[in-house]
Chains A and B, each alone.
Chain A
Amino acid sequence: MSAVGTFLTRRRGGDRWDWTDIVTFLWLGAGVFIMFGPALWLVLSSFKSPAQLSEFPPTLLPYEARTAVVEGYDKPLPLFVVTDDSGTRTLAEVRRVGTIAQMVDPENPATMERINIANRTPDRAVGFSWGNYLDPFLRFDFLKYTQNSIFVTGVATLITLLTNSMAAFALSKYDFRGRNTVVVLIIATLMIPLSVILVPLYSIVSGVGLINSLWGVILPTVATPTGVFLLRQYMLTIPDELLEAARMDHASEWQIYWRIVLPLTAPALAVLAIFSVVWRWNDFLWPLIVLSRQEVYTLQVGLNAYAGELNVQWHYLLAMTVITMIPVVLVFVFLQRFITAGIAGTGLK
């Protein structure tokens, strides 16, 4: 805690607070609020019940109505704080007719009171609706969707790293006629958005019978121009003498790629892995088109099912959005040091 205190009272230097210190903290504070505010709002809201989500004005923290088991009633009854001529007391609602609620005192269930609803407020405490998280997994197919998403993301990332690094190796370390043309062609495909090739791509995937198969989602996405370009630029910095030394050392071209170039490209591979995981995990449009059967849905497509035409189940949607965010956050937490390490230097010299 003292470390946080030290951090938050850091100054530019000197004994007194300078106006720049204050501006800096305000500026950074605003940045933190803008970046983390929505995420925090999402996480907190994901624990709210549907009724609370539609409440106005909204509350920051999730609340749950307190209930009490009252003798003579099967279900627990919601509690309200009632304030009227007889003073302030906590009563349980039995039923409500128009603006009048029939309520009983949990201590004294025999006497029924008729209370105007203007005179009462729900008795609530901070509470979490875990059901938002549990129901999609227990009652719906979200466990299956999650498995599908993990499979698609994992396999697609592995294949992406393998194929892109092989292409990058050839394009950076072999000198052949038309090499630059190929590089330019690959980079040029960056300019073509998915929506342009959606229809022909669908015909191809459908033609090879991969509709409603996870491979239909994986295969068309693994060859990324960004990945090839990123890795190629990195591999260009690996000295050719290393490859020649390996060639003198009886290494086959595959071994040169696998044992020399690939390990040295690790920082760039980490960056591409992060990108690939984020892309594939968050992919929506293409899986939505390829996958039409529930059992092959990925998380993002499954989420879409909660946003119906007439009714949006916000509580599930928010909870599952939080779930879908977790892997991306984890990837950044654990792999970001590879990014900085990759920038800091390769250990070559």
Chain B
Amino acid sequence: MGRIVLKDIRKTYGAVDVLKGIDLEVAEGELVVFVGPSGCGKSTLLRMIAGLDRPTTGTIEIDGVDVTARGAADRGLAMVFQSYALYPHMTVRANMAFGLQNTKMAKAEIDARIAEAARMLEIEPLLDRRPGQLSGGQRQRVAIGRAIVRRPTAFLLDEPLSNLDAELRVSMRAELSALHDRLGATMIHVTHDQVEAMTMADRIVVLRAGKVEQVDTPLGLYNRPANLFVAGFIGAPGMNLWAGRAGASGFTLDGGQVLPVAAQGATTLGLRPQHLRLDPAGPLVAQVTLVEALGAESVIHADLAGGQKLLAVLPGQPDLARGASVRFGFDPGHAHLFGADGLRAAA
């Protein structure tokens, strides 16, 4: 239960293409995270799966059944909204019961389900309060509880953690993951926070401008980004992407420095800041412009000859001053190569 298949989903508002043909399969019990910059269509896609919006073309299947024409209530899904959307005039208990009452469920069964969900989420003392009397984290739990009691085939979470403060977000992230393990239900989680995506997801769907850029496991995305966008989007600080051209001796940067990387046909070389190291014999010569010392590690901003920027994350607290000329080295195996079309070069 809970296998969701999207086939060529397109959505246009007037002349604007919001989604440009999305194909995706979400396996049963999987936690899939949609991630992408603002306006990439991730929330729209989620709303289409929920049934709150209709795609212009394309089909949505849940457990092998085409549900494209079905209303939101008849898809067996539950959604947690960004604003939680708790009914302000009802108690927590009434909020959780509302959806069940509408399906004419027996009262005893409703009470049992609410009690179970309340125990799981530790909101039992709050059941007779109203949403206005709850803190942000408590409201978040109630919103999740309202979804749980319905025993949906899949949970849809629309940026559920974005309204929480940083500390609470970290703990709720862990709780959501634990909840997913316990329920074993399919979850689709939308976020613009890549850390959230990396820590929670079984698989991540990276979206940009209405198209799927890459679908892979978190480490798969990190280790083998399929294109320049994913390479720059995943990982913090962002990957160094240097333009240049491939030659017989290696990859020549626009500034003239030659890197010992076999790179047929590549026009961009990507290197994560964490993979750079100080190396007196290294091929990269750069002038330090800024040192951000974080204690455990230091972020070095530097300029390469030719004006390209270099970002390096070095362990510890290296003794570097602004203006110093430094040589960096790296393991050629860590280099990511991209062709003129922006796609990962075969290597």
Q: Which residues of B contact A (CB under 8 A)?
A: 50-52, 71-73, 77-79, 81-83, 85-89, 98-99, 102-103, 130, 132, 146, 150
Contact of A189 with B by CB under 8 A = no
**For the complex, what is the distance from the CA of A172 to the CA of B86, rounded to whole Å?**
20
Contact of B89 among A250, A263, A349 (CB under 8 A): A263
Known: A246-B87, A249-B150, A250-B73. 20 other contacts (CB 8 A): A239-B83, A239-B85, A241-B85, A242-B85, A244-B50, A244-B72, A245-B79, A245-B86, A246-B98, A247-B52, A247-B72, A248-B77, A249-B99, A250-B103, A251-B73, A251-B102, A255-B102, A259-B98, A347-B89, A349-B132
Contact B83 A248 (CB under 8 A): no
Which residue of B is nearest A247, CB measured?
Answer: B72
Q: Which residues of B contact A249 (CB under 8 A)?
A: 73, 98-99, 102, 146, 150
Asked whether A244 and B52 contact (CB < 8 A) given A249-B73, A348-B88, the answer is yes
Contact B87 A248 (CB under 8 A): no
Closest CB in chain B relative to A283 CB, distance in Å: 33
Q: Which residues of B contact A242 (CB under 8 A)?
A: 85, 87
**For the complex, what is the distance from the CA of A259 to the CA of B103, rounded to whole Å?**
15
Which residue of A is nearest B152, CB measured?
Answer: A248
Asked whether A248 and B88 contact (CB < 8 A) given A239-B83, A241-B81, the answer is no
Contact of A264 with B by CB under 8 A = yes
Provide the main secondary structure of the chain A interface.
helix
**For the complex, what is the distance from the CA of A239 to the CA of B83, rounded to whole Å?**
9
**For the complex, what is the distance from the CA of A101 to the CA of B102, rounded to whole Å?**
86
Q: Which residues of B contact A248 (CB under 8 A)?
A: 50-52, 72-73, 77-79, 99
Contact of A335 with B by CB under 8 A = no
Q: Which residues of A contact B (CB under 8 A)?
A: 239, 241-242, 244-252, 255, 259-260, 263-264, 346-349
Which residue of B is nearest A251, CB measured?
Answer: B102
**For the complex, what is the distance from the CA of A347 to the CA of B102, rounded to whole Å?**
25
Q: Which residues of A contact B86 (CB under 8 A)?
A: 245
Q: Which residues of B contact A348 (CB under 8 A)?
A: 88, 132
24 contacting pairs across A/B (C-beta < 8 A)? A242-B87, A244-B50, A244-B52, A245-B81, A247-B71, A247-B72, A248-B51, A248-B52, A248-B72, A248-B78, A248-B99, A249-B73, A249-B99, A250-B73, A251-B99, A255-B102, A259-B98, A260-B87, A263-B89, A264-B88, A346-B88, A347-B130, A347-B132, A349-B132
Closest CB in chain A relative to B182 CB, distance in Å: 22
Contact of A250 among B85, B99, B130 (CB under 8 A): B99
Q: Which residues of B contact A247 (CB under 8 A)?
A: 52, 71-73
Provide the main secondary structure of the chain B interface.
loop
Asked whether A245 and B85 contact (CB < 8 A) given A251-B98, A255-B102, A347-B132, the answer is yes
Q: Which residues of A contact B132 (CB under 8 A)?
A: 347-349
Q: Which residues of B contact A251 (CB under 8 A)?
A: 73, 98-99, 102
Q: Which residues of B contact A259 (CB under 8 A)?
A: 98
**For the complex, what is the distance from the CA of A21 to the CA of B173, rounded to whole Å?**
60
Closest CB in chain A relative to B46 CB, distance in Å: 12
Contact B83 A241 (CB under 8 A): yes
Closest CB in chain B relative to A66 CB, distance in Å: 61
Interface centre among A241, A245, A251, A348 (most CB of B within 10 A): A245
Q: Which residues of B contact A349 (CB under 8 A)?
A: 132
Those 6 A-B pairs whose CB atoms lie nearest each other, nearest first:
A249-B99, A250-B102, A245-B85, A241-B85, A250-B73, A263-B89
Which residue of B is nearest A241, CB measured?
Answer: B85
Interface centre among A239, A241, A248, A263 (most CB of B within 10 A): A248
Which residue of A is nearest B147, CB measured?
Answer: A248
Closest CB in chain A relative to B188 CB, distance in Å: 14
Q: Which residues of B contact A246 (CB under 8 A)?
A: 87, 98
Closest CB in chain A relative to B83 CB, distance in Å: 5
Closest CB in chain A relative to B67 CB, distance in Å: 14
**For the complex, what is the distance from the CA of A347 to the CA of B83, rounded to whole Å?**
14
Closest CB in chain B relative to A279 CB, distance in Å: 28
Closest CB in chain B relative to A224 CB, distance in Å: 25
Contact A347 B50 (CB under 8 A): no
**For the complex, what is the distance from the CA of A263 to the CA of B85, rounded to whole Å?**
15
Contact of B88 among A244, A250, A252, A347 (CB under 8 A): A347
Q: Which residues of A contact B82 (CB under 8 A)?
A: 241
Which residue of A is nearest B143, CB measured?
Answer: A245
Q: Which residues of A contact B85 (CB under 8 A)?
A: 239, 241-242, 244-245
Q: Which residues of A contact B89 (CB under 8 A)?
A: 263-264, 347
Q: Which residues of A contact B51 (CB under 8 A)?
A: 248
**For the complex, what is the distance from the CA of A193 to the CA of B147, rounded to whole Å?**
52
Which residue of A is nearest B103, CB measured?
Answer: A250
**For the complex, what is the distance from the CA of A255 to the CA of B104, rounded to whole Å?**
13
Closest CB in chain B relative to A258 CB, distance in Å: 12
**For the complex, what is the distance from the CA of A151 to the CA of B87, rounded to whole Å?**
35
Q: Which residues of A contact B102 (CB under 8 A)?
A: 249-252, 255
Q: Which residues of B contact A347 (CB under 8 A)?
A: 88-89, 130, 132
**For the complex, what is the distance from the CA of A250 to the CA of B150, rounded to whole Å?**
10
